[in-house]
């Protein structure tokens, strides 16, 4: 007797693929006057930091905000003047306890306050 396994539903396959890709690489996290607790994992940006647009920073704490990851993070930036982690303004802070920081780009900084 041959056993026939049910076919997976396309929705389930699509959902699992979307979840797997979102876990693999996250984008920028900004704490603007609040507290953010990003999950452990990789955070990557490739944008330059232009006046008025801080898009290239992986972790950015401003206006007294704080970023406290729930586990090890790897911060990777590839943009002009981009910092992997930047705390800007009174009371802003970022707590990193494990992981790595890798930056490339003219004027780029690993950690900036």
Which pLDDT tens digit goes with each residue over 7-23? 544 444 444 444 443 34
**Contact predicate 67/91, CB 8 Å:** no
Q: What pLDDT band is residue 78 in, cutting at 50, 70 and 90?
A: very high
pLDDT digits (tens, 9 = 90+) for 20-66: 433 445 799 999 999 999 999 999 999 999 888 888 999 999 999 99
Tell me phi and psi for residue 61, to 5 degrees. -110, 120
10 is a domain residue = no
Q: pTM of this prediction?
A: 0.76
Q: What pLDDT band is residue 3 in, cutting at 50, 70 and 90?
A: low
Question: What total number of domains does the chain contain?
Answer: 1
Q: Which residue range forms the structural domain that includes residue 37?
A: 27-112
104 is a domain residue = yes
Type and span of the H or E element at 31: strand 29-32
13 is a domain residue = no
Q: Report the SS3 class of residue 108.
A: coil
6 is a domain residue = no
């Amino acid at each position: 007797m041959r056993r026939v396994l049910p076919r997976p539903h396309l929705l389930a396959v699509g959902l699992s693929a979307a979840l797997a890709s979102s876990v693999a690489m996250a984008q920028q996290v900004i704490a603007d006057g609040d507290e953010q607790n990003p999950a452990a994992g990789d955070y990557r940006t490739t944008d330059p930091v232009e006046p008025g647009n801080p898009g290239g920073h992986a972790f950015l704490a401003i206006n007294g905000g704080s970023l406290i990851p729930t586990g090890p993070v790897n911060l990777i930036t590839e943009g002009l003047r981009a910092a992997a982690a930047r705390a800007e303004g009174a009371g802003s802070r970022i707590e990193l306890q494990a992981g790595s920081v890798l930056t490339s780009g003219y004027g780029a900084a690993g950690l900036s306050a």
